[in-house]
Structure 1
Amino acid sequence: MSQEMSQTVITSTDLSPNKDAVPRANTPGKTPIQMLHEYGAKHGKIPAYVLEKAKGEAHQPSFVFSLTVGDVCCKGEGPSKKVAKHMAAEDALRILQVDTAAVSLPVKSESIGVAAESNGHPNSVGTLQELALQRGWPLPKYTMLMETGPPHRREFTMTCAMESLSETAVASSKKAAKKAVAEKMVAKLQSLSGSSEITWTPKPRVHFENLKNSSSEKISFLRRNPLSIPNTDYIQLMADLSKEQNFDIAYLDIDELTTNGQYQCLVELSTSPVTVCHGTGISRSNAYNAAAHSALQYIKIMVSIK
């Protein structure tokens, strides 16, 4: 996203919430965008925002907006479109000498707690996005695994992957499933941090090139031996390999059974690129073993490529 984008004009009447929404301060009040819109409506000078530039990588974007209200022109920059517009509006309010005592400004803190929605409830989707932007991590990846049930009672199963962590949730709509899985991810991050303040740091990802060049015991064993011996504990083999090569393993249960009644799961490895494999079995442990087997086969292929 490093290329400069074509200019887009947005008037301040576009105040609907969107994915770029920023967290508000705990003090009740209006945002700079809302106050400037009210000022413009009162004086017949509706603010116009122009997206001038979008730069940076996908996990660390930066947006630049210019703002014109009457004879006043300002610019704002931020990690999301909404934050950039807020910065421009705040600058315009200062120039116009509008009383901003009641304004709720976007807050950026070094330690992430839980962002709040307008109704005061935790906004876990926003929390994860803000966390990723501040830490320079890839944005959370939401994947719809399956959609089941009759039309009047649909169930949606969604996963959320963030760094080496994965969670899954089921709900009656896609929006509810995304919210539920984000809440589970925030809870996991808080649990790993030991408090409501998220301080957890992921391990560096292990590149396949490093695995390919490794001559350690477990990776060498994987290269030499077939993965077709009956009753092999592939979960333990994977655990031994991950400990030796210093990557994380996360098994993710899929609540829905397969069409023939078997359990199923995913296994995710904190490799680069990320490895995700599927497994099924007559029990949870059998499904885990099948997923570990598939992941080991994939690693074996990747490290054997000349």
Structure 2
Amino acid sequence: MSQDGFQPTLIRTTHNNNTSLSIQQPQAPCPGKTPIQVLHEYGTKIGNPPVYVMEKAEGEAHQPSFIFNVTIGDMSCTGQGSSKKAAKHQAAESVLNLLEIDTGTLLHLKKESNGIPEEPNDQPNSVGKLQIPKPGVRLENLRNSSAEKMSLLRRNPLSIPNTDYIQMMLELSQEQGFEVTYFDIDELTVNGQYQCLAELSTSPVTVCHGTGISCGNAHNDAAHSALHLSIQQPQAPCPGKTPIQVLHEYGTKIGNPPVYVMEKAEGEAHQPSFIFNVTIGDMSCTGQGSSKKAAKHQAAESVLNLLEIDTGTLLHLKKESNGIPEEPNDQPNSVGKLQIPKPGVRLENLRNSSAEKMSLLRRNPLSIPNTDYIQMMLELSQEQGFEVTYFDIDELTVNGQYQCLAELSTSPVTVCHGTGISCGNAHNDAAHSALQYIKIMASIK
């Protein structure tokens, strides 16, 4: 991508309250910027992104010490800290001091070069040091755009190795009029990778998860997911519900979540056949299909037919049990076939909640293998008073994984992306991303 006219995107890093780094973190020169992020933006602008290398790791497990070297162009500095992030932070800060660059200057240049005067905001939507974005361009308008960057995005593959997706995302956001914010997650994945969230100030607000062997790789992966999502139309067989989702909600409600077991997989590679059995309580049904998802779908549908439950009934029962009467909506805000819900609980209000599920979310890690994040998300949403809806995306990712969106009826409405080797895994991944996002929003003071 061209570097001409580059203007740095707004990048913020946040830390959870239950980590030592959140206490020891050096102060950034201005709110919302860390030296790592400022140096990354500066390096991208001059065509020499910074490269970090760990030179040493020593000390006891309870008191580790890391030394990182950062190189940008022909300049190199080292930094030391009690975590990898703190060491990188110090190294980046040393380079910025030599370059006599601070975040205030960089932000000023951004506003000048964009030609957009800074507007005062006496009532910021703040979450600690985070600014909840005011939703901007609507997702359906974004997907219908014929502008240059969006047209290029539709025509060209998003599977070319070593592509700078952060830069592509930046140029698209500038063209379409929304902001992109990257939030680092302190916890590593179960396989030791860095994590981050990319937040798009669209309407609804869109959140994509990214992982990588470095912080920069995680940012690039999150930008990659966000670019994919920008051109895709989520599909839903009926307003927000599939038989699998309906049966899951029903099972959770009665205390017997459904259990799916694959009984048979046969047929040729070009024409496979799968048989799945689903058990809920003392009831069991089977389903057959040309994919695992289709077989599960049919099995769940068979159970629902026996129970004489359909999605409309379940939605009605849900509203009854919540004590919230259903309101007619003659002007639905649709995104593809999605119905954007009327926003409910405000995201910044979640940080003041001392309820059980929210407190558990703040305290406990979100990196435990085989966790049912869908169930965690359901329990949290019921406690906090918002709804969660999962929408499948027809297209697979470039590496053949299923995709879905988890939509939260918060204020602003939030959509989180998920991928997985099955439809269920994609739903669980989207719920995981949503929980990570809520944890960030709820934990910063």
If the TM-score is normalised by the length of the shorter chain, which range does it land in?
A: 0.3 to 0.5
TM superposition score normalised by structure 2? 0.27
- Which one scores higher on RCO, CA 8 angstroms, separation ≥ 6? 2
Q: Which has the larger radius of gyration?
A: 1
Q: TM-score, normalised by structure 1?
A: 0.38
